């Protein structure tokens, strides 16, 4: 039956071939012998995988009547991509050593918000994994639920970080399954989840990068699914899941007004109660609770676009240009959230669109914009094809990791930054203009 269905549908053959090709491309990202060339090898394999991903996603979106087994094939390839990145792709970040440190500190009875890794009070915890920890003078920036996950995983493996890598990969596969359910719930073909499932950005950043954003995104998608299932009003369960997402990574806080507008007190009270409960074990840190986050937000602008430009322009006018830029961008993002909340409609798709629009605004105009942060907005492609965002899943990695090809060359890094951002901004602006023109034309036609 499967062979007959495939023969009748050439798109199925194409998806089979493209899935194998994408996995093969990521297989080639194995670290080379010389440290100098690792970025080139990685980016070449990433680019080939991205081309396969783009072709497969377009075919899946446009092909009518795909056989049911294609959904299983999408999941199989998604898992394969992540497994390949676990064993072949070079380590893209040292963040997981900070996760392990925070977990070990908590298991030793130490509040991770109180002391940075280089503090003398925690010297006795140092081992062979202490050296690769980044930003040792800064206390942790990760929220309470993330700390609880780190503590649990450090209990499983307290001398290496393998438990973290596998856990994040599992959460990411869980996000693929949640997206299939959520896309189907909103009346779209669940195969559209391929836009996230086969995207090389989450595949590489969650596994080879070992970033805990996969945990927070999983909880956000769960909150959205629970809100969609309780249509037309979001229920308490969605508020609890959203609280978990915020306490795993702060970004989903931007979506709170949309959930409250949809569910009112049924969402807000469980959300507030859950946040307080998760925060309670760490309140002993008092004023130090946000020290690491405050330092981070007050200094980091890595891989950002508009933020960097505004910051440089303001440098001629005030010595506090970074803080002023931070506040200006925060006001801009808040204005977008307020506007979306004001215009919100009682449909599940509007909740989804507003949530990812707010997250996208934060990433595109504020700072920092690391590649692994961008996985938060990739799921929106499962509903709306946005060429600028599709391109961003390629350029955000290219502009970030290509810097290693030009060590210390700030001018080259700046050129790479804008070579990546300018086409993305141009496509996004063009699409917004097109939507407005098309909407105005539709409205005018309806009035005739």
The secondary structure of 311-374, three-state, reads HHHHCCCCCCHHHHHHHHHHHHHHHHHHHHHHCCCCCHHHHHHHHHHHHHHHHHHCCCCCHHHH
Query: How do the domains of the chain map onto residue ranges?
Result: 13-403+410-447
Cβ 98 vs Cβ 140: under 8 Å: yes
DSSP state letter for 34: S
Identify whether 54 is preceded by a cis peptide bond (ω within 30 of 0): no
The pLDDT score that the predictor gives to residue 436 is 83
3-class SS at 55? helix
The pLDDT score that the predictor gives to residue 1 is 44
The pLDDT score that the predictor gives to residue 32 is 65
Identify whether 262 is preceded by a cis peptide bond (ω within 30 of 0): no
Q: What is the C-alpha to C-alpha distance for residues 180 and 382, in angstroms, rounded to an integer?
A: 9
Identify whether 112 is preceded by a cis peptide bond (ω within 30 of 0): no
The pLDDT score that the predictor gives to residue 224 is 97
Radius of gyration of the chain, Cα coordinates, nearest whole angstrom: 22
Q: Phi, psi (5° rounding) for residue 378?
A: -60, -35
Alpha helices in 88-138 (DSSP H): 95-107
DSSP state letter for 402: G
Q: What is the C-alpha to C-alpha distance for residues 332 and 320, in angstroms, rounded to an integer?
A: 19
Q: State the distance between the two ends of the chain, measured CA to CA, in whole angstroms.
A: 51
**What sign results for the dihedral spanned by CA atoms 429, 430, 433, 439?**
negative
**Which stretches in the chain have pLDDT values below 50?**
1
């Amino acid at each position: 039956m499967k062979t007959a269905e495939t023969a009748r549908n050439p798109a199925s053959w194409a998806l089979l071939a493209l899935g194998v090709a994408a996995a093969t491309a990521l297989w080639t990202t194995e670290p080379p012998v010389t440290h100098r060339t690792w970025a080139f090898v990685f980016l070449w394999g990433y680019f080939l995988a991205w081309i396969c991903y783009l072709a497969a996603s377009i075919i899946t979106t446009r092909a009518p009547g795909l056989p049911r087994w294609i959904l299983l094939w999408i999941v199989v390839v998604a898992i394969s991509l992540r497994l390949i990145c676990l064993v072949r792709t070079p380590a893209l970040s040292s963040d997981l050593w900070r996760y392990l440190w925070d977990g070990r500190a908590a298991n030793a009875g130490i509040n991770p918000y109180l002391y940075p890794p280089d503090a003398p009070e925690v010297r006795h915890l140092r081992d062979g994994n202490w050296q690769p920890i980044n930003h040792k003078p800064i206390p942790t920036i990760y929220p309470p639920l993330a700390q609880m996950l780190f503590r649990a995983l450090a209990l499983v493996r307290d001398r290496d970080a393998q438990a973290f890598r596998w856990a994040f990969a599992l959460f990411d596969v869980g996000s693929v399954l949640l997206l299939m359910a959520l896309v189907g719930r909103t009346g779209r073909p669940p195969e559209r989840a391929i836009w996230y499932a086969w995207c090389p950005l989450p595949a590489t950043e969650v596994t080879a990068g070992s970033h805990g954003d996969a945990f927070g995104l999983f909880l956000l998608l769960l909150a959205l699914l629970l809100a969609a299932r309780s249509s037309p009003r979001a229920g308490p369960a969605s508020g609890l899941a959203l609280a978990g997402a915020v306490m795993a990574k702060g970004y989903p806080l931007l979506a709170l007004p949309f959930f409250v507008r949809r569910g009112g007190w049924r969402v807000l009270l469980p959300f507030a109660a859950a946040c307080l409960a998760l925060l309670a074990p760490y309140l002993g840190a008092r004023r130090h609770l946000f020290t690491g986050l405050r330092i981070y937000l007050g200094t980091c602008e890595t891989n950002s676009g508009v933020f960097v430009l505004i910051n440089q322009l303001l440098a001629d006018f005030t010595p506090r240009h970074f803080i002023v830029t931070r506040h200006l961008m925060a006001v801009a993002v808040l204005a977008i959230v307020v506007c979306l909340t004001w215009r919100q409609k009682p449909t599940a798709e509007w909740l989804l669109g507003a949530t990812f629009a707010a997250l996208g605004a934060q990433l595109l105009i504020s700072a920092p914009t690391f590649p692994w942060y961008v996985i938060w907005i990739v799921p929106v492609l499962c509903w709306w094809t946005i060429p600028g965002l599709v391109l961003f899943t390629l350029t955000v990695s290219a502009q970030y990791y290509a810097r290693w090809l030009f060590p210390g060359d700030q001018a080259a890094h700046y050129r790479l930054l804008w070579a990546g951002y300018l086409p993305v901004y141009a496509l996004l602006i063009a699409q917004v203009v097109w939507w407005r023109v098309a909407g105005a034309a539709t409205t005018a036609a309806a009035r005739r």
